[in-house]
Amino acid sequence: MQQTTASAARPSVRALSGLITRLSVREQRMLLGLAAVLLALGVQAAFSWSSAQRDRYLTAAADLGLARADRDAVARNTLDSFDRAQLDALSRWSAQGRDIWFARLDVERRIRASAQDAGLTTPDVQVAEAVETGSALPMLRADVSGPYQGAAIVRFLRQLTNDPKVVLVDRLQVQRGAEQRYKLSLLFPVQFGKGAAS
């Protein structure tokens, strides 16, 4: 059976090599270029898929870690009145969500509402898909960018800080040139859990 498959493959390989040898040098180069482009596209698609799967895994692992930490804190139930007051304050000034996706929606809604109230036209809002690492408090990064409008940006920041929930300005960059643009990086404390409002 294996010999039959191998012998059946030989004529098709011979036919393909015969077809390629009948092509002109220019056509052979074009065929080789097409094969290289298809190979590059295949490699790029594989890397994109791998990256997306890795990001999904990291987000799920972060959500699982937060859920386990919450469960452990509730199981221990060793909080005194000061710790409970701190948790209540944290709850009042953090973005809320049952999970990262609801918290992202809450943050984006706050940004867009403040931008509209401040008259900030066409802001491009990019909210991170995972919380920042390296901090005891989960923080969600949001980048806001667009054409520079100095007074509107100041009003926008005032609108954001009038909200009882905390927002931290990480960086403000202004790009000078023919068309001035800004990029504002903001950090929002977030809290997850069943009791969090979505």
Asked whether the predicted pLDDT for residue 194 surpasses 60, the reply is no
Amino acid 15: pLDDT: 76
CATH 3.30.70.60-classified regions of the chain:
82-192
pLDDT on residue 196: 47
pLDDT digits (tens, 9 = 90+) for 28-72: 888 888 888 988 888 888 888 888 888 877 877 777 777 677 666
Q: In Å, how far are 107, 122, 153, 183 from 156, measured between CA atoms?
A: 14, 13, 5, 13
Closest by Cα among 80, 109, 88 to 191:
88
Give residue for tokens 């890795």: 54
pLDDT-derived band at 197, boundaries 50, 70, 90: very low
Predicted pLDDT of residue 144: 93
With 70 as the cut, is the pLDDT of residue 3 above it? Answer: no
Query: In the CATH hierarchy, which top-level class contains the domain 82-192?
Result: alpha beta
pLDDT above 90 covers what percent of the chain? 11
What one-letter code names the amino acid at 9? A
**Rounded-to-integer distance, Cα 23 and Cα 27, Å:** 6
- pLDDT for residue 73: 65
Place of tokens 């990256």: 51
* Reported pTM: 0.52
Mean of pLDDT values over 137-164: 87
Give yes or no for residue 122 having a pLDDT over 70.
yes
Task: Quick: pLDDT tens for 126-150.
Answer: 998 888 877 667 888 999 999 988 8
